[in-house]
């Protein structure tokens, strides 16, 4: 039986479209390192259902692979790394914070 890979719950903010992550204290954060790193499959499914039920706040909630890092969860796949950086067409959203 395959081993469960740690996950975070991610979605898009309903009003501004930013990528957001579900934290352990039930907030949606724009920062991946603040996400709850979920290491149990059953708990991951419960957290996903919790996120999906918040249709007035987020859309498109799903589980994304992550790994523990020195400052919190880190994305595993390129797609998720890309999503942490915000829109790529010009500096807005998360990219304005880097300047």
Position 78 scores a pLDDT of 87
Taking only the tens of pLDDT, the chain with its 99 residues reads 679 999 999 999 999 889 999 999 999 999 999 999 999 999 999 999 999 999 999 999 999 999 999 999 999 998 898 888 876 655 655 666 655
**DSSP assignment, residue 35?**
S
Compute the distance between CA of residue 26 and CA of residue 51 in angstroms, rounded to an integer. Answer: 9
Cα dihedral 82, 36, 8, 33 in deg (nearest 10): 10
Please state, in angstroms and as integers, the Cα–Cα distance from residue 83 to each residue in 22, 45, 48, following that order.
15, 22, 18
Position 56 scores a pLDDT of 97
Domain ranges of the chain: 7-98
Please state, in angstroms and as integers, the Cα–Cα distance from residue 80 to each residue in 1, 17, 97, following that order.
26, 15, 19
């Amino acid at each position: 039986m395959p081993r469960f890979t740690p996950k975070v719950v991610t979605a898009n903010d309903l009003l501004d479209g930013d990528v957001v992550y579900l934290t352990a204290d039930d907030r949606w954060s724009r920062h991946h390192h603040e996400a709850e790193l979920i290491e149990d499959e059953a708990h991951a499914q419960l957290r996903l259902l919790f996120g999906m039920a918040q249709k007035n706040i987020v859309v498109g909630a799903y589980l994304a692979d992550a790994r523990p890092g020195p400052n919190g969860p880190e994305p595993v796949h390129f797609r998720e790394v890309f999503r942490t950086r915000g829109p790529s067409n010009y500096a807005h959203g998360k990219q304005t914070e880097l300047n």
